[in-house]
C-alpha cells in the first residue's frame, strides 16, 4: 500500500461549518498536507488555528490564474464553496489533471465537463455529504439487495431533516439555525415534483407548505414532510421503474409548515429591494435602529394603522389552517417573533426577506450546550420474487455534540473526507463527473461510516 504512505497535498476551498469535520478526518492519516483557502485570509486562519500543521491562504476563485495555480499545486481539491463555483474549480482541475470532491448535486454546468474530466483521467466525486450523499448510499443498498433477490420496488419515499434535538426545539417554529436563515427561507419558495400513486404531482412554491403531511418515523417525533424540488427523475436515477410513488422530501417538526405558510402569505419571502429598509434609508446608517417592527409589518400588509392589535387581526386573516389550536399557536408565534411590536427594532437589510432573516437569526440560533439532530428515513414498498409484499425502512438518526461538531456538519463533512481519502488511496478509481451511484463507489464509503458513528437502522415489516 505504497500509495497510502505517500504525502498527499489537499486543497480545501471554504471554511464553513462542514469544513472542520472533513479536515479533522483527513488529518488522522498523518500523510495528508492540507491547505485551507478562502477569499479572506482571516476566515481560513480561524479554521486552521487549532491545527498547527494546516496552512491557510487567501484565494479568489474568480481569478482563473490564481485558481489554476492553487489547484495545480495539490493532488486533490475539495470544493465546499457555493455550488455555482464548482464548474470553475473542475475546469482548473481538468487543466492540471487533479481530482476534485464536492458535496453538491451535479449541476448541468458540471455534467458538461464529464467527457473532459474522463479525457484528463481525473475523478470528480460529487453528492457525498448527507443529502445528497448518505441518503444515496443507504437507499441504493436496499434497492440493489431487492433487485439481486429478484424483487422490485413499488414505492420509494425518502425524507431528511436537520432539526434541533427535541429538548432544544423550544420555539414556535421548532427549528434553529446553524448558519444563515436565508437559504432555509428561500427553500420555502421551491416548486416540488414527484410521483405519487402513478401520477406525476407538481406543486408550486406558494403551495409547498400546504402539501406537508405527517411522516411517521418514531413515536417520539412529531414530524411532517414536504417534497424537495424535483425528485421525479429518481425513478430512472435509482433504476426503480416500477415505483408508483417516488418522492424525496424535507422533514420538519409539526407546526412548522402552518407557521411558515403564514409568513409566506404575509409576503415575507419578497426579496425585492425596499428603499425604506436599506441601511442608508432616512434616519441614519446601518447601525440606526430606529425603525420598529410594527411599522415594517404595517407597510408589508398595506394597512393604515401600526397598532399591534390591528396588525394581529390582519395577520390572523392570513392564516390558512382552520384548526383553532394551530391558529392560536401561530398567533402566539407571531407575538414571539416581535413583528407587531413597537418596542423591537428592525435590522435594516434591504428587503422583507432579509429583515425577517435577521430577526430569525437573533431568536433562533443554537445556544451554548444545545445540540442539533439529523433524521433520515427511507421507506420502500417491496414486491418480492414470490409475489409477497413487505415494507422496508432505513433510518439514520444522529445528534450533534453540544459545543462540538453539529450532526449536520459531521454527516456532510465526514463522508466527504472519507471519499477524499479513498480516492487518494486508489480505492475509488472511476473517472469523470461521478456520484456514489454504484456499489464500487458507495460500498467502500459505507463500510467506513459506522466507525464514525454514522449508520442506518433497517427494519422489514
Q: Is 32 helix (H, G, I), strand (E, B) or coil?
A: strand
What residues are annotated to the active site? 131
Cell of 172: 414556535
**Count of alpha carbons within 13 angstroms of residue 148, beta-carbon side:** 7
- Give how far Cα 291 sits from Cα of 285, 298, 304, 348, Å: 12, 12, 17, 8
Contact predicate 318/331, CB 8 Å: no
Q: CB-based contacts of 206: which residues, under 8 Å, 6+ apart?
A: 189, 264
Question: Shortest CA distance to 437 belongs to which of 222, 127, 160, 148?
Answer: 127
Q: CB-based contacts of 367: which residues, under 8 Å, 6+ apart?
A: 168
Q: What end-to-end distance do the CA atoms of the chain give, in Å?
A: 43
Cell 416548486 -> residue: 191
Q: Is 338 left (phi over 0), alpha (psi -120 to 50) or beta?
A: left
- Give how far Cα 456 sits from Cα of 140, 231, 353, 377, 427, Å: 13, 22, 37, 9, 23
Q: CB-based contacts of 298: which residues, under 8 Å, 6+ apart?
A: 305, 306, 311
User: How far is the C-alpha of 252 from the C-alpha of 322, rounded, in Å?
Assistant: 20
Amino acid at each position: 500500500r505504497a500509495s497510502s504512505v505517500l504525502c498527499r497535498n489537499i486543497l480545501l476551498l471554504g471554511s464553513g461549518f462542514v469544513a472542520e469535520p472533513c479536515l479533522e478526518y483527513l488529518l488522522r492519516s498523518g500523510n495528508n498536507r492540507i491547505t485551507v483557502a478562502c477569499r479572506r485570509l482571516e476566515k481560513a486562519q480561524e479554521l486552521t488555528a487549532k491545527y498547527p500543521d494546516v496552512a491557510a491562504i487567501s484565494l479568489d476563485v474568480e481569478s482563473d490564474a490564481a485558481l489554476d495555480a492553487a489547484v495545480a499545486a495539490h493532488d486533490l481539491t475539495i470544493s465546499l464553496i457555493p455550488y455555482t463555483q464548482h464548474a470553475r474549480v473542475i475546469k482548473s482541475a481538468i487543466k492540471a489533471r487533479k481530482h476534485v470532491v464536492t458535496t453538491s448535486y451535479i449541476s448541468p454546468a458540471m455534467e458538461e465537463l464529464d467527457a473532459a474530466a474522463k479525457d484528463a483521467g481525473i475523478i470528480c466525486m460529487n453528492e457525498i455529504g448527507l443529502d445528497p450523499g448518505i441518503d444515496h448510499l443507504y437507499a441504493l443498498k436496499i434497492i440493489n439487495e431487492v433487485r439481486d433477490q429478484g424483487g422490485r420496488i413499488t414505492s420509494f419515499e425518502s425524507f431528511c431533516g436537520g432539526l434541533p434535538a427535541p429538548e432544544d426545539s423550544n420555539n414556535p417554529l421548532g427549528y434553529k439555525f446553524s448558519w444563515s436563515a436565508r437559504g432555509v427561507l428561500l427553500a420555502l419558495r421551491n416548486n416540488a415534483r414527484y410521483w405519487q400513486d402513478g401520477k406525476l404531482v407538481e406543486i408550486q412554491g406558494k403551495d409547498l407548505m400546504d402539501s406537508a403531511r405527517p411522516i411517521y418515523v418514531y413515536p417520539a417525533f412529531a414530524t411532517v414532510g414536504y417534497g424537495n424540488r424535483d425528485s421525479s427523475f429518481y425513478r430512472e436515477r435509482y433504476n426503480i421503474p416500477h415505483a408508483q410513488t417516488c418522492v424525496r422530501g424535507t422533514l420538519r417538526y409539526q407546526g412548522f409548515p402552518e407557521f411558515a405558510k403564514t409568513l409566506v402569505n404575509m409576503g415575507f419571502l419578497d426579496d425585492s429591494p425596499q428603499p425604506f429598509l436599506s441601511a442608508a434609508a432616512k434616519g441614519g446608517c446601518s447601525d440606526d435602529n430606529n425603525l420598529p417592527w410594527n411599522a415594517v409589518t404595517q407597510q408589508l400588509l398595506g394597512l393604515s394603522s401600526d397598532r399591534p392589535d390591528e396588525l394581529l387581526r390582519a395577520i390572523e386573516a392570513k392564516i390558512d389552517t382552520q384548526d383553532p389550536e394551530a391558529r392560536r399557536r401561530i398567533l402566539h408565534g407571531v407575538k414571539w417573533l416581535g413583528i407587531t411590536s413597537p418596542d423591537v427594532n428592525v435590522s435594516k437589510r434591504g428587503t422583507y426577506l432579509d429583515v425577517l432573516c435577521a430577526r430569525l437569526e437573533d431568536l433562533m440560533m443554537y445556544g451554548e450546550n444545545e445540540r442539533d439532530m439529523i433524521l433520515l428515513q427511507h421507506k420502500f414498498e417491496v414486491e418480492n420474487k414470490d409475489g409477497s409484499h413487505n415494507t422496508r425502512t432505513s433510518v439514520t438518526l444522529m445528534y450533534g455534540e453540544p459545543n462540538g461538531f453539529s450532526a449536520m456538519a459531521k454527516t456532510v463533512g465526514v463522508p466527504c473526507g472519507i471519499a477524499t481519502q479513498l480516492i487518494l488511496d486508489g480505492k475509488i478509481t472511476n473517472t469523470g463527473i461521478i456520484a456514489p451511484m454504484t456499489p464500487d463507489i458507495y460500498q467502500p464509503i459505507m463500510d467506513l461510516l459506522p466507525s464514525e458513528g454514522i449508520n442506518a437502522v433497517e427494519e422489514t415489516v
